[in-house]
Amino acid sequence: MDIYIFWIIGVFTISAICGFIFIPIILNFCKAKKLYDIPNARKIHKNAIPRLGGISFMPSMFIAFAVALAIINSTHRQITINLWSMYFLASIVLIYIMGIVDDILGLPPAIKFIVQIASACLLPISGLYINTLHGFFGIHEIPYHIGFLLTVFIIVFIDNAINLIDGIDGLAASLAILALGGFLYIFASQGIWTYSILIAGLIGVLVAFLYFNLFGNAANNRKIFMGDAGSLTLGFILGFLCVKYTMHNPAIKFYQVIDFIMAFTFILIPMFDTVRVSLVRICHGGSPFKADKRHIHHKFMRAGLSQHQTLTCIIILAVAYIAINAALLNIISNTYVFMIDIAIYISINIMLNYFIRKKETLEAAV
């Protein structure tokens, strides 16, 4: 096990180095081709910023993984690539290419939705699907056809949730690093090294991206956004990891104290935020798919926080959810934990609404 921990650190380092090499190249390419995310009334940033940072994610992750795979297998240890992995590779490449095309040329939402569904369908076709809810609302084993549909829905939903939460500097990447760290712990503790090494590679390039995204100077062409190529790729990978952890596989005995709902806890804020925003839009007579400024990061900023303060608050909230659920799942069922999670989220939004109204009242009185 110790040697694999060493390789996880090595893969993280190689991927981070690749990120620091690739992202400046991408920035120069965007400048030469004038590929920018242009500010508008819905967006928070005020300057034209390159948005192809996500292009660096897949190459960096797979270069690091390939190096590790070659060296580990040369030492007569085996990292195997099974059928699920091959189908996952095909599906994530589809999402990645779609994201690049959308960032450069633009794609209609319907086309993107069709590609997401088609890519998600490859996983249950390969035999990887949600086959049990582990007692969630009293549901245990579920048949293949229901699991197929549920798997596709969950993956597409998570994919779009990560895409939608990508609204301020560092938010989607930070939440993804936190979630990936949780999955890395889960899979490494079970000796599932193929995915552990892949996850470490993705975390590495995300750290490099965060450096340019949070601290890069736009005036010096050193600030970049991840774009759809990044957010959709991240969301699909996180959706895949949720499904893989949730599926009951007799060959793999996950540590049962960490209930399956922990997989979704890692990305609870983007999921809850997507549901809340969609319901609010519907209640106001609008389309649930129409972009606006009702997301949780918008609410924190309307309450008076800066972008970095908002980022910090949301990350603290995400960590708190993980800690609370990990503790509660030892003493109560996952159904009750989920209900508590909803109650906490509603309470936070009520509190934010109070501070927003208070701030707007004070501004109106001035």
The b-or-e profile of 238-255 (16+ CB within 10 A means b, else e) is bbbbbbbbbbeeeeeebe
102 is in an annotated binding site: no
- Which tokens in the block code for residue 82? 């099974």
SS (HEC) of the chain? CHHHHHHHHHHHHHHHHHHHHHHHHHHHHHHHHCCEECCCCCCCCCCCEECCHHHHHHHHHHHHHHHHHHHHHHCCCCCCCCHHHHHHHHHHHHHHHHHHHHHHCCCCHHHHHHHHHHHHHHHHHHCCCCCEEEEECCEEECCHHHHHHHHHHHHHHHHHHHHHHCCCCCHHHHHHHHHHHHHHHHHHHCCCHHHHHHHHHHHHHHHHHHHHHHHCCHHHCCCCCCHHHHHHHHHHHHHHHHHHHHCCCCCCCCCCCCCCHHHHHCCHHHHHHHHHHHHHHHHCCCCCCCCCCCCHHHHHHHCCCCHHHHHHHHHHHHHHHHHHHHHHCCCCCHHHHHHHHHHHHHHHHHHHHHHHHHHHHHHHHC
Q: What separation, in Å, do the N-terminal and C-terminal C-alpha atoms of the chain show? A: 63
228 is in an annotated binding site: yes
Note whether 273 and 299 are within 8 A (CB). no
- Those residues whose C-beta lies under 8 Å from the C-beta of residue 40, and which sit 6 or more positions away, are none
Q: Could you tell me which of 225, 322, 254 has the C-alpha nearest to residue 23?
A: 225
- Which tokens in the block code for residue 98? 């779609």
**Annotated binding residues, as ranges?**
163, 228
Question: Which residue ranges are tagged as binding site for Mg(2+)?
Answer: 163, 228
